[in-house]
Amino acid sequence: MTDEELIAEVRGWLAANWNPRDKVQAESFGRSPYQSFLEKVLAAGYAVPSWPKELGGRAMTPAQGRLIEREFAAVGAPGAGQDRHNLWANTALAYATPEFRDEIVPKLLTGAVGMCLLYSEPGAGSDLAAVRTRADLEGDRFRVNGQKVWTSGAAIADYGMLIARTDWDVPKHLGISFFFLPMKQPGIEVRPLRQITDEAHFNEVFITDAFVPAANLLGPLNGGWKVLQTALAYERSVMGDAARGPRSGKGSPKGDGALVELAREAGVLDDPLIRQEIAQVTAWKILNRMNNARAKAELKRGTSSPIMSLGKLAMSRILHQEARLRTLLLGADSLLEGPDHPRAEDANFLSLNAYFTSIGGGTDQIQRNIIGERVLGLPKEPEIDRTMPFREVRSG
The answer to whether the beta carbons of residues 203 and 191 sit under 8 Å apart is yes
For residue 227, give the nearest of 125, 117, 315, 333 by alpha carbon.
Answer: 117
Instruction: Spell out the residues 6+ positions from residue 72 whose beta carbon is closer than 8 angstroms to its own.
Output: 10, 14, 46, 78, 79, 80, 81
- Lowest model confidence (mean pLDDT) among 41-55, 195-209, 210-224, 317-331: 195-209
Instruction: Give CA–CA dist 266/326, Å, rounded.
Output: 11
All structural domains of the chain, each given as residue ranges with its CATH number in brackets, are: 3-85 (1.10.540.10), 115-221 (2.40.110.10), 242-375 (1.20.140.10)
Taking only the tens place, the pLDDT of each residue in 195-247 is 777 777 789 999 999 999 999 999 999 999 999 998 988 887 776 665 555 65
Q: What is the mean pLDDT of residues 319-340?
A: 89
235 tagged catalytic: yes
Of the pLDDT bands very low, low, confident and very high (cuts 50, 70, 90), residue 137 is very high
Q: Phi/psi at 253 (nearest 5 deg)? A: -60, 145
Supply the pLDDT for residue 245. 59
Query: Which one has a higher pLDDT value, 301 or 346?
Result: 346
Supply the pLDDT for residue 244. 57
Query: Which one has a higher pLDDT value, 29 or 12?
Result: 12
Supply the pLDDT for residue 309. 82
Residue 306: pLDDT over 70 = yes
Instruction: Give CA–CA dist 179/305, Å, rounded.
Output: 22
- Other C-beta atoms closer than 10 Å to the C-beta of 279 total 12
Of the pLDDT bands very low, low, confident and very high (cuts 50, 70, 90), residue 131 is very high
Residue 250: pLDDT over 70 = no
Report CA torsion sign: 255, 256, 259, 264.
Answer: negative
The answer to whether the beta carbons of residues 171 and 386 sit under 8 Å apart is yes
The H or E element containing residue 164 is strand 159-165
Q: Where is mean pLDDT largest: 16-25, 222-231, 348-357?
A: 222-231
Supply the pLDDT for residue 314. 87
Query: Which one has a higher pLDDT value, 245 or 182?
Result: 182
Residue 117: pLDDT over 90 = yes
Among residues 235, 277, 322, 345, which one is catalytic? Answer: 235
Instruction: Give CA–CA dist 244/350, Å, rounded.
Output: 8
- Provide the pairing of β-strand 159-165 with 115-118: parallel
104-134 burial: b if 16+ Cβ within 10 Å, else e: bbbbbbbbebbbbbbbbbeebbeebbbbbbb
